[in-house]
Amino acid sequence: MKKSSLTLVSLILTACVSLVACKRDADTVKIGGIFPLSGNVAVYGIEARNGVLLAIDEINAAGGIGGKKVELIFEDDEGNPEKSVNAYNKLTAKDNVKMIIGSLTSGCTIAITSKAQTQQVLLVAPAATAEAVTEAGDYIFRACFIDPFQGTVGGIFSANDLGAKQAAVLYDNGNDYSVGLKDNFITAFQQQGGVIAANESYMTGDVDFNAQITKIKAANPDLVYLPDYYNTVALIAKQLRAQGINTPIVGADGWDGLTENAGDEVLNGYYSNHYASDSTDSKVQNFVKSYRTKFGSIPVSFAALGYDSMYLIRDAIVAADSLDSTRVKDALAALNGSYVTGNLSFNEKHNPVKSAVIVEIVKQGDKLATVYKTTVDPQ
């Protein structure tokens, strides 16, 4: 075969492949996803991705969005901001997505918000709670409440519901999430008449907290506030109890996953969260039932937030009657609806106005579980 004939065949094959791809794209709503599916916070990413996939299954079973099937194209950022950027670049440049769910932690999400804003990519962060996340611009949203609210909830609950008069704080000085929660807890607790008896810090990656705990024990607090992720909290709780500190410990949504990764040392523990799986709300009950059927476990809050994030995008696309990211983000900003994690609307900074729940860690048989304790509404 002549070279010119080979060239013609190559062009025809390329055109055919392109036509097939174009037809697939025309019949599909492509949603990007960035989740930590490996690394220290993989439990969050896996649950969030599962929640998104469950929502997509339901949406597709109901006919898709405007007759188009929804497809999730996801990447693992390992909880590493540099890899979040790589994942974002791949999804937008290679996969041509214009709407992304992710990432999970605040640092990873902040690493991509400016790029998303500049490129007019709609970004919905399921669980990035740091206040700065949505400051990049109007294409950035989140499904979770923000750290100042969580810290405030923790301070009010500790003083009013647990009756604490003196609290100790032990936090990660190298983690914006931990620092932000600590600051707002202290403010709220003091406003309720409480005293901060000890204020101790450590650095990310530390595993020995006995020096700080010795100082906390000497201060004799009624309660210890631990604003960090479940893996670190499990280590700290064990060392607290080993030194004889048996007071209540209080934290935030980063504790989700603790019941599967700790022992009895986390009993008498409470944390603010986005939903309670034992709620009697019908939306929650249906979600939990469907999730257990598909994945074989009770969903933690990150699954619920991933699920809600996908439905928020679905509802905004339907309201906009368009897949154009600008029209979708305008519709999303105007949404006001009921979701698994509560009734939700967005303020001017695209932060949701919604309630928080407090859950308690308890023993059920030979396993740890969380049970609903109380609800704290937005102030």
Kindly tell me if the per-residue pLDDT of 185 is higher than 50.
yes
Q: Which residues pair with 124 in a beta bridge?
A: 101, 141
pLDDT at 5: 52
Report the CATH number of the 10-145+280-346 domain: 3.40.50.2300
Q: What's the average model confidence in pLDDT over 363-374? A: 93
Kindly tell me if the per-residue pLDDT of 6 is higher than 80.
no
Kindly tell me if the per-residue pLDDT of 20 is higher than 60.
no
- In Å, how far are 156, 168, 219, 237 from 165, measured between CA atoms? 11, 10, 12, 21
Q: What's the average model confidence in pLDDT over 92-99? A: 98
Q: How far apart are the first and last CA of the chain?
A: 77
pLDDT at 378: 66
pLDDT at 176: 85
pLDDT at 23: 45
Domains of the chain: which residue ranges?
Answer: 10-145+280-346, 148-273+358-376
pLDDT at 280: 86
* Rg for the chain, CA atoms, rounded: 23
Query: What does the alpha-carbon distance between residue 155 and residue 44 come to, in Å, rounded to a whole number?
Result: 25
pLDDT at 375: 82
Contacts of 7 (CB under 8 A, 6+ apart): none
pLDDT at 7: 55
Q: What's the average model confidence in pLDDT over 228-252? A: 97
Residue-wise pLDDT for 210-224, tens only, equals 999 999 999 999 999
Answer whether CATH 3.40.50.1010 is correct for domain 148-273+358-376.
no
pLDDT at 34: 98
